[in-house]
């Protein structure tokens, strides 16, 4: 039995790749970044590994927001809305840590 | 986004909107308003984890080392795969490939369910190890470090809330897939798939924050 991919015409296969290229490449990038976090978490090579881990997480979140959730392609109002959420989170974390870290 | 839609794929305009583009934007803005409230809810929980680490470093590290690191990592891979299948479903909907879209949606639901099964097994392993401090009849494994209770209880609240969101998401997804399999769906409601996709990617994003904050960062000294 032929696989569904083999049954596609060359034109359809090109169309499919054009549509799926970005999701597949994003998935591979996220998988690679997760690999870095897991490797650092499992081996704990140095005391400041948490800084690298959190930087990689920030990169993963940015990839999901901008590419998977397509914020970069949305109109300005929706981009503003999604950015405001993270702005409020920064205020909440910043003000709370100002208290705890200054004690 | 409405660019790159195949012929016969689109949205039936509701009477309160002037254009289909306005209707699409309103739906996307609406789901983002909901996602922002969710973001603030989970961020507050992650902030508490950070404060627990600052206030009780030894107890938090002792508790975090009891978490099932490899199950958490495997579950992250499962959710990344589900995000890929969700993105594929969105692309198939734009291309008008309804059958492929339905299969991608079912694969997404299956991967979400696999995550919940692994999570349930993880909770069972925690129970076996006496890592459920909220159970009065079962002694807590880290009884000698009382502050560890704070972190472990927070772990259950954060992961339990995420699992609840995922469970609800799977139920909604299956309902939508049932409707999406009907003839003419993509001509009238293509943007439902896109709007739901935002919710699914967001659940993935929350776990991508939860896994390092709860399981990874606190393993180090």
Choose, out of A39, A69, A87, the residue to mutate when testing the contact with B (most B CBs < 10 Å): A69
The Cα–Cα gap between A63 and A60 comes to 5
**A46, A5: one domain:** yes
Question: Residue B31: inside a domain, yes or no?
Answer: yes
Q: Which tokens hold the place of B54?
A: 């600052």
**A59, A33: one domain:** yes
Structural domain including B183 reads 20-219
**Which chain A residue has the Cα nearest residue B33?**
A81
**A65, A82: one domain:** no
**A12, A53: one domain:** yes
Query: How confident is the model at residue B220, as a pLDDT?
Result: 73
pTM across the whole model: 0.93
Contact B32, A81 (CB under 8 A): yes
User: Of B46, B41, B45, which is closest to residue B213 (Cα–Cα)?
Assistant: B46
Question: Residue B168: inside a domain, yes or no?
Answer: yes
Residue B6 scores a pLDDT above 90: no
CATH number of the domain bearing residue B148: 1.20.120.80
**A15, A65: one domain:** yes
Contact B90, B194 (CB under 8 A): yes
- Mark yes or no for CB contact B44/A92 under 8 Å: yes
Place of tokens 């590994």: A49
> Terminus-to-terminus CA distance in chain B, angstroms?
45
Number of structural domains, chain A? 2
Contact B191, B172 (CB under 8 A): no
**A87, A45: one domain:** no
Looking only at Cα atoms, what is the longest distance across chain B?
66
The Cα–Cα gap between B6 and B28 comes to 20
Percent of chain A's residues with pLDDT above 90 = 76
In this prediction, residues A58-87 reach a mean pLDDT of 94
Burial label for A50, CB within 10 Å (0-12, 13-18, 19+), is buried
- Mark yes or no for CB contact B54/A68 under 8 Å: no
The Cα–Cα gap between B28 and B22 comes to 10
User: Of A34, A61, A47, which is closest to residue B69 (Cα–Cα)?
Assistant: A34
Place of tokens 């309902």: B175
**A16, A39: one domain:** yes
Confidence band for A2, pLDDT divided at 50, 70 and 90: low
Nearest by CB to B84, from A27, A82, A84: name it. Answer: A27
Number of structural domains, chain B? 1
- Mark yes or no for CB contact B198/A69 under 8 Å: yes
What average pLDDT is seen over chain B? 94
């Amino acid at each position: 039995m032929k696989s569904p991919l083999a049954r596609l015409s060359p034109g359809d296969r090109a169309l499919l790749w054009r549509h799926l290229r970005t999701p597949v490449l994003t998935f591979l990038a996220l998988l690679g970044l997760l690999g870095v976090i897991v490797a650092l978490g499992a081996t704990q090579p140095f005391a400041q590994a948490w800084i690298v881990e959190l930087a990689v997480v920030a990169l993963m979140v940015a990839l999901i927001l901008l590419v998977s959730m397509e914020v970069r392609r949305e109109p300005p109002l929706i981009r503003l809305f999604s950015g405001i959420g993270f702005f409020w989170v920064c205020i909440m974390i910043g003000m709370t840590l100002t208290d705890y870290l200054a004690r | 986004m409405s660019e790159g839609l195949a012929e016969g794929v689109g949205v039936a305009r509701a009477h309160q909107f002037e254009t289909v583009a306005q209707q699409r934007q309103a739906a996307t803005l609406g789901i983002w308003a909901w996602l922002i409230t969710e973001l603030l809810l989970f961020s507050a929980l992650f902030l508490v984890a950070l404060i627990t680490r600052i206030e009780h470093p030894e107890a938090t590290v002792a508790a975090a080392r009891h978490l099932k690191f490899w199950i958490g990592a495997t579950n992250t891979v499962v959710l990344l795969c589900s995000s890929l299948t969700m993105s594929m479903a969105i692309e198939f909907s734009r291309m008008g490939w309804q059958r492929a879209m339905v299969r991608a949606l079912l694969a997404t639901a299956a991967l979400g369910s696999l995550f919940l099964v692994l999570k349930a097994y993880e909770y069972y392993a925690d129970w076996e190890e006496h890592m459920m401090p909220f159970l009065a009849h079962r002694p807590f494994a880290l009884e000698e470090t009382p502050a560890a209770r704070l972190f472990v209880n927070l772990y259950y609240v954060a992961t339990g809330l995420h699992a609840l969101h995922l469970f609800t998401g799977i139920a909604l997804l299956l309902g939508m897939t049932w409707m999406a399999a009907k003839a003419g769906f993509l001509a009238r409601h293509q943007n439902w798939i896109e709007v739901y996709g935002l919710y699914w990617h967001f659940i993935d994003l929350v776990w991508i924050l939860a896994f390092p904050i709860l399981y990874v960062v606190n393993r180090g000294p």
